Amino acid sequence: MKNRRIAVIGILILTCALFTGCSGKNNQQGSAAEAGTPAVGTASDQKQENVLPDGVYQADFNTDSGMFHASEACDGKGTLTVENGKMTIHVSLESKKIVNLYYGLAEDAAKEDAELLEPTVDTVTYSDGYTEEVYGFDIPVPALDEEFDLALIGTKGKWYDHKVSVSNPQPIENEDSQAGGNTEPEDGNYTVELTFEGGSGKASVSSPAELTVADGKMTATLIWSSPNYDYMIVDGETYLPVNTEGNSVFEIPVPVLDKPITVIGDTVAMSTPHEIEYTITFHADTLEAVE
């Protein structure tokens, strides 16, 4: 009988100890909350805290392949744009051999309704001054420093899976800063020196050229060395001459200074009209205001 009482008392003591321990733990949590100790947030809360402020950044574009990466001229980096909390990085690749990208897996990219990322034609400038046209892509970025799936297809028509990530964002003043461009000048009239390349070398454009800035948009007046140009194409838009006599004169938009701009001039000097591709660079350090 005595042993039975001792056993019952032992069970009661153990039960109280267990309940006291849970109660003590709960009290500690309550005390921490009352003392202002922050609680551990959810994954979405933590990701929200890591979202960059809206703006434009230079960031590293990391891939799992030496055959798939940003152009050497861009030092492995792209331009990261953050708008309303959503991140997109524009990356200029090494060549035009990658014709489409897909945000996801290769097996889904091959489906009929897949939304493919279409290329842009970018002009990159290497350290020795050589310029080259390559394909670029605007790629959605779900989070920084985290790998995500990005499939690619080349000229041979086969999709491949890759892992990529974006890291080390550094703020830049505007999208053109990464490419060496300067901020646009204030509204007004200017002259600006330009560099003209391409074609056979027989045609040229007068330098300096007139540059007009209105509402932050730049427009250049180009005077050709020939009267035989009947239109120009800039960024897919066609521009007609603004004169009817003398050498051909065009007014074209200038998206950025200090960066080569690809233009196409159509000449009728030959037996049949020919579209010829040129590059023009407007040099910001030569800007002079015109009264």
Say whether both 139 and 236 belong to one domain.
no
Residue 214 forms part of a structural domain: yes
DSSP for 124-184, written as a single string: EE-TTS-EEEEEEEEEEESSTT--EE-EEEETT--EE--EEEEEEEEE-SSTTTTTT--PP
Domain containing residue 238: 188-289
> Do residue 55 and residue 153 come from a single domain?
yes
Residue that terminates a domain, selected from 117, 139, 171: 171
Mean pLDDT, contiguous 10-residue spans, the chain (291 residues): 46 40 37 38 44 89 93 93 92 95 95 92 88 94 96 93 95 53 76 88 90 92 94 93 94 92 88 88 91 76
Domains held by the chain: number: 2
Please indicate, yes or no, whether residues 124 and 196 belong to a single structural domain of this protein: no
CATH of the domain at 129: 2.60.40.1850
Alpha-carbon gap, residue 88 to 61, rounded angstroms: 12
**Residues 284, 248 share a domain:** yes
Indicate the residue among 139, 171, 203 that finishes a domain: 171
In this prediction, residue 183 carries a pLDDT of: 57
- CA separation for the pair 200, 265 (Å, rounded): 12
pLDDT at residue 34, as a whole number: 38
For 266, the token pair is 């159509």
Residue 97 main-chain phi, psi, to 5 deg: -80, -25
| pLDDT attached to residue 200 | 73
**Per-residue pLDDT at 12:** 41
Q: What is the pLDDT of residue 49?
A: 45
Among 138, 171, 204, which residue terminates a domain?
171
Is residue 44 situated within a structural domain?
no
One domain for residues 160 and 193:
no
